Every structure is written in structure tokens, then in C-alpha cells.
Chain A
Amino acid sequence: MKRKVVSVLLTAVLAATVLSGCKAEEVANQNASANNQESTPSTEEGGASQTEGEAPAGDYSYVIGHYGGITGGVATAGTAGYEGIQLAIKDWNEKGGVLGGQIGFEFYDDGSTTEGAVKGVTYLLEEKNVNGLISSQLSGNIQATGDQVEAAQVPEVGTGMNPAWLQQGWSYLFRSVPSNAGGAQPLVDAMKSVGVTDLGALIYQDDGNTSAWNYVTEVLDNTPEINVTTVEQAMVGESDWTGTLSSIIATNPNGVLIFAQGEQASLMIKQLRDLGYGGYIFGPETFSLPDIRNVAGAGANGIIFFAPHCIPDSPEEANTPEEKEFLEKYVAEYGRMPASDVAYRAWDATNILLTAVEKAGTADGPTVRDTIKGLQMDILAGKADFTAYDNGECLSGQQIYITHDGKNILFSKFLEENDPALYMK
């Protein structure tokens, strides 16, 4: 009897889940078809023609789709990005929305995987008929879905920093941050200015970090003052690097470069410091993650990194009024500071997309794309200028920061007040 009840319940639960999946699709279909009729007058008002099958869902005049990972390996960054977009859309909607209506938001959790991203993009484009896309911060996922986005003629603003996905010739893809290629030269300059002559390196083997390291290698090849003692690899999924870090220390470097995601980098720094290395550590934009300072504690002092954004400890310490405003809104909404600078990038991406839509006066993909191409505006990352580049970039170069006395400050400011060799061992 017990077994019977359980079997029946089980079937019911499964049927319900499967049906809810199907039902959601049906409802969406009805919405979409209902909208086809409803949206006719609104498009007349806007004086714009909509591409076939791109009618916005629900009562929204513009729908933004986002695929990203709020679960999986890089959930910290993914969640921050998700929150950044929602905050920006809320902000716009409070100001009256765009194209005379409110802005909708559709999300697909890709679990930080490529297959998830492919499913997610198809879902957003075909099922939810979104008008514009904000990508995940994982460059590999953007690259894997680029062809689809291009074919659907939907503008996408990406937040990944690997230069590669804007070098494929896709015309609907844009980036809201400078690529990490621009970080190499200033980072090497910083190494020279603190007097590093022998550099050991540890590179985490994922696409973002290997590509960023390739740019640094190019610069280092033309820098005879700095000799690279060893380049070690850290594999995806590892969490202990005692052996690798020991062999780096054994080559007696006076500077160590670590390129890794924030989750791994914080452990690497802690383990490196435990092994007795007290000198400068150099890193990429992921080092702006506040968790680095939490995990590595005092060991985080003396870290030099490039980043488009660097999250301060409180909104009051923001570098620009725009950043302060953004952080105040963020804290008001979520009760805490962003956990990753991807929140900045996503906020910028949403603003770029919506500004272009407002300027274009239509949700039509090709028109919005052309508007973004001619866009010049102030964003958190600086003065974005899409006209200066022909491939969808809007900025170049990176800021250099240093962690000093438990705070991230601009490296130039640090040099003014301190001895450059402060953290040389």
C-alpha cells in the first residue's frame, strides 16, 4: 500500500515537472502570439518595423535576455552580473522605461557550461523572443554562441574580457569593458617600476587567463630587464598548488605573476604566502574581487593587478561620482557591495544597450546595432567610444591597482606616497 502511494506520488510529481516545462512553453507561445497582435499598434506609434518573430513578450516594449551562470564554477561572478543587469533595468524602468513602455528581463542559468549557453541563447532568442542580449562573462560561452546571435540579428553586449570573441568578424557583438589585451603593457611597466628582474609565473588553464598571459608574454619578450624564471600551469579543478608554488619559489624570483579566476587566485596567494614568499604578486582583473583580501588576509598586501574596475570597500570610497551612484543603488537594492566587478560590466552593458535603443527609437535589431556602432557615452569603465574601433570594442587599456594596507588603491597613487620597493623581499 505504502509503495502504491509513493509510486502514484512519484508519477504525479514527474508529470507535473514535465508538464510545467511544457506549459511554460505554451504560455510563452500564447504570450508571443498575443503580442503579435498587440504589438502592431505600438510599432506604429514607434514608427518602426519589427523583424519577423522578434515581437517582445508580455507588456514590455523591449526585452533583454541574459544567459549566465548563477550556479557552477564561477557563480560569484555570474551572480554579480545577474544582479547588475537587474539593477540597471529597474533603474531604467523607474525613469519611465524605453520606447514608451517598460523593459522586460529574461534569464537562463547556463550553469557556467558551454552546452548551457547554447541552450540558453536558443531559448532566449526563439522561446522568449528577446530584443537584445547581455552575455555571460565567460568568453568561451560568448564565442560558442556568436554564430547564432549573428544569424538572429539581435545585438549582444558582452562582459567577457578575452579579446578573441570580437575578432571573429561578428557585427552584432559588443563589449562593455576594455579587453584584457590592454592590461599587459601597464602591468609590465608596473613590474619595472618596482624593480622586478626575475619573474615566476603560474597560469590557470582556462581561456581567459591563458589568452591574457599570451599578451603579457608578448610584452615581456620585448622587455630585456625582466627575465622569466619559470612558467607553471595550474589545471582547472585543482585546489592545492604547494608543489607548483614551491618550484616557483625555488627559482628565486623577486616577483610572482598569478593569472587565475578569483576563486583559485585567493587560494594561490594564501598558499604562496604560507610558503614564505613576501614579495610582489602580479595578477589580472579577477584580483579586484573583494574575496581575495578576505581569503588571503594580510597576505594580500603587495598584490599589483590590472582591472577596468576595482570595487572599493564602501560607496563613499568610489573613485567617480557615477561609480558612487551605482554602488549606492546596489547597496540599497541588495544590502551589500558587489562580490565581483562583473556587476559593473553588466550594469554598463545594460546601459549601453538601452541607451542605443532609446536613441534608435526602435527595437529593431539591425538599427540598434548601427546605433551602438556610433555610440559615445560615459560608463563606469570610462569614456566608451564605439566609433574609435571597428569591431565592437569601446575602450582599451586598463588601470593598475595595488593592494596596500588592506585596501585596493591606484598604483600611481601608491607610488606617490611610498617607496616602490616596499614589498620587495
Chain B
Amino acid sequence: MKKNGFFETKKGKTIAAAVILALLVIIPLLMDNNIILKQNKYFYVLLCLIGIYTIITSGLDILFGYTGQISFGHAGFFCIGAYGSVLLTHPGWGLGKLTGYVLPPILSILLVACITACIGALLAVPASKLVFHFLSMLTIAFNQIIYLIANNFSWLTNGSIGITSVPAVTILGFSFSTVSSKLRYYYLVLFFVIVLLVVKTHIINSRVGRGLIAIRENPTAANGCGINVAKYKIMSFAISAFYVGLAGGLYVHMIGFVSPDTFIQNTSVIFITMLLFGGSGNLVGPILGAAVITFIQEGLQSLADYRMLIYGVLLLIIILFQPQGLSGLGKTFSGLAARGKGGESNG
């Protein structure tokens, strides 16, 4: 295979990343000061949500794209992250109700992400042994149970009524309150997205990452090469859960309200569709998936009740004709171009 130009080289990739990053920082800043476009707070909400979904899909990608393990229950981890952070920071609930002391939100988000990772590891102990179908069902059941706990244990979670006035994130007296503007929060989310994506790249390129990929390709062979398959799968689950738990914390401090409805099993399915839409097993795919699905959902708003139908049809088309997701489109095109020039086609 020959290298496809500048952006395939390491230096090119670094520069491209830096440029995109700079744009992501500068454009909203310019918008906020009415220099380009118009100040548009609704746009920041979408950006924040895209950021949060990017974290989730990237986490899911470690599990699914790199380790080959399916999960239809990531909304369960999302739920633990969201409720966990509320219970640690809200003066009227959980820790605040019991002891009168609360944690600062930024600390609780990180703490809850760690707790979620532990729960993910626990779930992975039985899950690591199961084949695809049973893994799907175990994760579905896990999601249902977490949802039911959030809905039934009213003394802890206020049941279906939900908890309002979730405190805003404050770092050293600098408030990230989302009530009047979500621009600051966008930068907070962006910070986490970048850190987590860098961490993800490092994990994938490390010994662990190669182990995970080996498991995806062939568990038996991986085992034969001395990789402890069960241990690596548990690690993969834990890392994935960490990402999603952290996203849950970020989500709840942005929305300012939490109720069990958000964490139904359908949400897990949406996470998976985002990942597949964008393309799994690479860095860009999860970002693309989160962004495109969020924009499609909003772009189709004017279609009212036809929205979900069109969404389903698009999804089916993607699965049928573009199984590598959007991030694979480039490859498909270059492959086609090569074929057009008389190059060898492989399907």
C-alpha cells in the first residue's frame, strides 16, 4: 500500500489535528463576540452534546471497535455516572442529605467515572466468558436493572420525578453555569474530549491496545500468544465504562436535571448506532458519528413525526451499503478511484 499523501504521515496528522483544534476553540469564541455568524447559544448546546456523545462513543469504541465486545447496556454506565455525580454534589440528596457535606462537581465527575469503571469491571467478570448474543443480553439486562433501580429507589433518586437544580461545575471560583450560556461549558467538554481522545490513542498504541485488537481478531490465537483474554476483556470493559461514566457526569451538570427516562435501553441502542454510523475502530469515526447523528436529529426536526422513520431508513442504508461507517467513506472512494484506474478490486 502506498501512502496517500501528506495527511497520512505522522507530521501531517499532527498538523491537521492542531488546525482542527484551533478552529474548535476559535470559532465559538468569534461567534460569541458576534464577529462571525451570530451569537447562537443553541449551537453551543449541540456542541456540548456532541462532545459528550463523542466521549461515550469513543469509550464504546474501545470495547466494540478494538476488543470486539458488543454492549447494548452503556446507558446503564451513563446512568451511574449521571446519578452518581448528582448524589455526591447535590445539597438535598445523597451525600449532602446524609452528611451535610458535598463534593465539588469537578471532583465528583472524576470520582464517579472511577466508580463506574469498577462496576464495569465487575460486570465484565461474567461477561468476558460469553459469546456475542449472550453478551448482548447480559448488557441489556444490566441496563434494565440500573434503570429500574433509578426509577424504583425513590429515597435515593427521587424516582421518576427526578432531581432538579443540579449544582453547576465550579473550578477555583470560576463558574461553568449553563443557565445563561453554554459557551464556557463547551470549553470544559472540549477539554475532556481532547484529553480522553489522546488517552485513547495512547491506550490503543500500547501493549494493552495490541492485546485488545488481537482478541478482536481471534480470541483463540490471542490466548495462544500468551494474552490473558479474560483480563484484557475486563480491562476493556472498565476503560469503556470510565469514559461513559465521565460523560454521564458532564451531561448531568450541563442539563441541570436528572430523571430515569434518559437512561432507557433505547439510549444504549442510539450510542451503538452513533458508533456504527461514524465507523468503529478508529479515532475519527466516533466523533463523526456523534456529530452527524446529533445534527441529523436536529436537521430533521422540521419533519416532525417522520423523523424517526427517516432515521431508521438512513441507518439501514448505512448498514447495507457502507458498513465501515462514515469514516470509511474516504477509503471507499479511494478504493473506487483505484479500481477506476484499473487497480485491483477486492470487493
Contacts and interface: CB of A to CB of B under 8 A. Distances in A.
Nearest to B265: A237
Contacts of B162: 114, 140, 143-144, 207
B327 to A, nearest CB: 13
B326 A14 contact: yes
Contacts of A109: 301, 304-305, 307
Given A7-B322, A17-B300, 14 more contacts: A18-B295, A18-B296, A25-B43, A70-B305, A107-B304, A118-B255, A118-B257, A122-B41, A122-B182, A125-B42, A126-B40, A143-B257, A164-B161, A207-B159
B314 A13 contact: yes
Given A108-B301, A207-B160, A236-B151, A7 B261 contact: no
B318 interface: yes
Interface in B40-60: 40-43, 45-46, 49
A3 B320 CA distance: 10
Interface in B293-347: 295-296, 298-302, 304-305, 307-308, 314, 317-318, 321-322, 326, 329, 332-333, 336
A130 to B, nearest CB: 12
Contacts of B261: 113-114, 140, 236
Contacts of A20: 299
| Chain A contact residues, majority secondary structure | helix
8 contacts: A3-B332, A7-B332, A114-B257, A114-B259, A123-B301, A144-B255, A210-B161, A236-B261
A226 to B, nearest CB: 24
B262 A235 contact: no
B17 to A, nearest CB: 22
B159 to A, nearest CB: 6
Interface string A281-292: 000000000000
Interface string A197-209: 0000000011100
Chain A to chain B: the 8 pairs with minimum beta-carbon distance, closest first: A21-B299, A144-B257, A126-B41, A207-B161, A127-B42, A126-B42, A6-B321, A206-B160
A10 interface: yes
Interface in A1-38: 3-4, 6-7, 10-11, 13-14, 17-18, 20-22, 24-26, 29, 32-33
B162 to A, nearest CB: 6
A168 interface: yes
A115 interface: yes
Nearest to B333: A7
Contacts of B43: 25
A49 interface: no
B148 interface: yes
Contacts of B314: 13-14, 17
A357 B15 CA distance: 55
Contacts of B296: 14, 17-18, 21
Contacts of B228: none
B292 interface: yes
A71 to B, nearest CB: 5
Contacts of B164: 143-144, 146, 168
Given A6-B321, A10-B317, A140 B165 contact: no
B306 to A, nearest CB: 10
Interface of B: 37-43, 45-46, 49, 148, 151-152, 154, 159-162, 164-165, 179-180, 182, 255-257, 259-262, 264, 292, 295-296, 298-302, 304-305, 307-308, 314, 317-318, 321-322, 326, 329, 332-333, 336
A192 interface: no
A287 to B, nearest CB: 20
Contacts of A383: none
A147 interface: yes
Interface string A119-133: 100110111000000
A11 B43 CA distance: 23
A129 to B, nearest CB: 10
B37 A29 contact: yes
Nearest to A6: B321
Contact of A10 (B41, B302, B308, B321): B321
Interface in A143-185: 143-144, 146-148, 151, 164, 168
A211 interface: yes
Contacts of B300: 17, 21
A122 B292 contact: no
A127 B295 contact: no
Nearest to B41: A126
A148 B164 CA distance: 12
Contacts of A33: 38
Contacts of A17: 295-296, 299-300, 314
Contact of B40 (A4, A25, A164): A25
